[in-house]
Amino acid sequence: MLPTPQRFTLVAGSAEGDTQLTAFDKALLVAGVGNLNLIRVSSILPPGTEFSQQVDIPPGSLTPIAYGTIGSEVPGRLISAAIGVGVISGSFGVIMEFAGICTKAEAEERIEKMVREALAIRNAHPERIMIKATEHVVEKVGCSFAGVVLWY
């Protein structure tokens, strides 16, 4: 079992590339996590985890992250990704991710609803809700990415 993360950071970025993979890689770099080895996790924020504005992790580190991403090769298409965290007072939290063909504002609205629903089914109310999102108009091959980095 891995140790329980002690910090979390919301990140988001969008970029263009020549391929879906390079667009994704560039979006990760814009988000500030492109030099990490990401381990995709599901949607629970550990109890007592502290929010940090920036990720301060050595390159190459194995890094848990919940994320949503979308790529497109349709020029002119607007794509967005959003991440949301709902923190329960004195307890754990929930993380919701979304990516789709929509505006950043629409993605943020969907994420807030998802966070509130996830908390409601746990009979919990948020102490706070945090959301980060990005949008991108595709030129050739584009990617939007948003995630919650869980770190130590």
| pLDDT attached to residue 2 | 81
Contact present, 40 and 66 (Cβ < 8 Å): yes
Query: Of 29, 36, 34, 5, whose CA–CA distance to 15 is shortest?
Result: 29
As a whole number of angstroms, the distance between CA 70 and CA 92 comes to 28
In this structure, the dihedral spanned by the alpha carbons of residues 59, 65, 70 and 71, taken in order and rounded to 10 degrees, is: 20
Q: What tokens appear for 18 in the block? A: 């020549």
The Cβ of residue 139 has, within 10 Å, a number of other Cβ atoms equal to 10
| pLDDT attached to residue 71 | 98
Q: Which residues does the chain have with pLDDT short of 70?
A: none
- Residue pointed to by tokens 């969907």: 110
| pLDDT attached to residue 65 | 98
Catalytic-residue membership of 42: yes
Assess if CATH 3.90.1170.50 describes domain 7-151: no
Give the phi and the psi of residue 139 in degrees, each rounded to 5. Answer: -95, -55
Catalytic-residue membership of 97: yes
Write the pLDDT tens digit of every residue in 36-75: 999 999 999 999 999 999 999 999 999 999 999 999 999 9
Please identify which of the residues 72, 80, 97, 135 carries the catalytic annotation.
Answer: 97
Catalytic-residue membership of 37: yes
Please identify which of the residues 43, 52, 106, 112 carries the catalytic annotation.
Answer: 43
Query: How does DSSP assign 69-89, residue by residue?
Result: EEEE--TT-EEEEEEEEEEET
What amino acid is encoded at 98 in this protein? F
Catalytic-residue membership of 35: no
User: For residue 143, what is the DSSP state?
Assistant: E
